[in-house]
Amino acid sequence: MLFTLLKKNFIYPVNQLPLTLMSLKEWSLVYVKGKDDKKYLQNQLTIDINLLVKNEHVLCAHCNFNGKVWSTLRIFHYKQGYAYIVRTSVVEMQIKELRKYSIFSKVTIEEEKNTFLLGVAGLNARSFLLNFFTRVPDKLSPLILEDSRIILFFSDPLERFLLILSKKDVNIFNKQKISKVLFSDSKQWLLLEIESGFPIIDKESSSKFLPQAINLENLNGINFNKGCYYGQEIIAQTYFKKLNKRFLCVLYSREIVSCKIGSIIKIKTQREWLKIGLLLAVVHIREKETQIQVVLNKYVDINSVFKVNDLKNIFFIRKKNLI
């Protein structure tokens, strides 16, 4: 079976990525269903769930009363309800928070543990998938359901796909047709997410930022015209009064740097290193470069120099990916 063949490889830069299958074990699928599922999610998420159509998937956030993001989600219609993809490190806590107010609603919220999430990207990814599926999604129809199999389409930072399969459906891939495909893990997909501008919220960074601080406003992950939801008042006030002073950014070092999620980001001034932000995600690219996604707490000059905690390694702003 395919998921027993997947193994760790070097992480390739986006512009050099060969045809690659990625086991997305750092992401989980959560299923929400019940008579009140739409109404319940409408009161919890930053998007207007009433506007979600069958053939699309949408980025949004689940926030606490103070408007701070528990997690970022990618949500879509699924079976008799809805499903969303969320980081595995935060899924248990996020489900617990989402269930808090469900006692008076007819809704169930469960992690789908019998599914397999698989990323496909790189050279001729679309042609490769057409060997196994009759249709493949695109910008006009970014979600396709074929039998019990779901494919999500992403256009940034390159054409790529996320497959949601039952573990038995993984057998649709035969060894002959995947013999020349690179097998990788979640880190390669993480790099693609970072370069697309998708904010990575893990357990260490959960409930620390307003949605605007992680760029959800510019990614259409917030609807300011819908009714009330948890955190809505503070999020709206921040938007209309232009109070947000943080932004999402990509930094890189020309070395391999061992750093952890939640680490402090410092900026070099004339006199000293000052705290300026927090590290959300880190990827090491082919043992030559470290790329990190960070939230900085004020706008900075694009030529500024940064470091993580008190490590000696220097980081720079990835200008082409400045979010």
Within this chain, do residues 59 and 182 fall inside the same structural domain, yes or no? yes
Domain boundary among 196, 214, 229: 196
> For the segment 236-269, what is each residue's pLDDT rounded down to a tens digit?
999 999 999 999 999 999 999 999 999 999 999 9
Residue 80 lies in a domain: yes
pLDDT tops 60 at residue 2? no
| Other Cβ atoms closer than 10 A to 209 | 23
Within this chain, do residues 39 and 183 fall inside the same structural domain, yes or no? yes
What b/e sequence results for 67-83 when a residue is b if at least 16 CB atoms lie within 10 Å of its CB, and e otherwise?
bbbbbbbbbbbbeebbb
Q: For residue 317, which phi and psi values (nearest 5 degrees)?
A: -75, 130
Within this chain, do residues 256 and 122 fall inside the same structural domain, yes or no? no
> For the segment 64-112, what is each residue's pLDDT rounded down to a tens digit?
999 999 999 999 999 999 999 999 999 999 999 999 988 889 999 999 9
pLDDT tops 60 at residue 4? no
Within this chain, do residues 179 and 275 fall inside the same structural domain, yes or no? no
pTM: 0.93
Within this chain, do residues 145 and 16 fall inside the same structural domain, yes or no? yes
The rounded distance, in Å, linking the Cα atoms of 213 and 69 is 10
Residue 159 lies in a domain: yes
Exposed (0-12), middle (13-18) or buried (19+): which is 3, by Cβ within 10 Å? Answer: middle
pLDDT (0 to 100) of residue 180: 78
> For the segment 175-229, what is each residue's pLDDT rounded down to a tens digit?
656 767 888 999 999 999 999 999 999 999 999 999 999 999 999 999 999 989 9
Residue 172 lies in a domain: yes
* Average pLDDT score over the chain: 92
Residue 314 lies in a domain: yes
Within this chain, do residues 38 and 180 fall inside the same structural domain, yes or no? yes
pLDDT tops 60 at residue 6? no
Identify the CATH number of the domain in which residue 285 sits.
Answer: 2.40.30.160
What is the DSSP annotation of 75-142? EEEETTEEEEEEEHHHHHHHHHHHHTTGGGSS-EEEE-TTEEEEEEESTTHHHHHTTT-S----SSS-
pLDDT tops 80 at residue 322? no
Q: Taking a C-beta distance cutoff of 8 angstroms, is the pair 276, 309 a contact?
A: no
- Would you list which residues are annotated within the binding site for folate? 27, 189
* Closest listed residue to residue 30, CA positions, set 116, 95, 117: 95
The rounded Cα 72 to chain-centroid distance in angstroms is: 7
- For residue 157, cis peptide bond before it (omega within 30 degrees of 0): yes
Residue 123 lies in a domain: yes
pLDDT tops 70 at residue 153? yes
Whole domain around residue 25: which residue ranges? 2-196
pLDDT (0 to 100) of residue 257: 95
Residue 84 lies in a domain: yes
What is the DSSP annotation of 165-234? EETTGGGGS-TTTTTT-EEE-HHHHHHHHHHHT-----GGGTTS--GGGGTTTTTT---SSS---TTHHH
Identify the CATH number of the domain in which residue 117 sits.
Answer: 3.30.1360.120
* Closest listed residue to residue 72, CA positions, set 277, 219, 276, 259: 219
* Closest listed residue to residue 306, CA positions, set 290, 285, 283: 290
Within this chain, do residues 60 and 158 fall inside the same structural domain, yes or no? yes
Within this chain, do residues 192 and 254 fall inside the same structural domain, yes or no? no
**Structural domain count of the chain:** 2
Residue 270 lies in a domain: yes
> For the segment 103-149, what is each residue's pLDDT rounded down to a tens digit?
889 999 999 999 999 999 999 999 999 988 999 999 999 999 987 89
pLDDT (0 to 100) of residue 8: 53
Three-state DSSP class for residue 282: strand
Residue 204 lies in a domain: no
Query: What pairing do the DSSP bridges indicate for beta strands 143-146 and 149-154?
Result: antiparallel
Within this chain, do residues 192 and 295 fall inside the same structural domain, yes or no? no
Q: Tell which wins on pLDDT, 7 or 156.
A: 156
pLDDT (0 to 100) of residue 175: 60
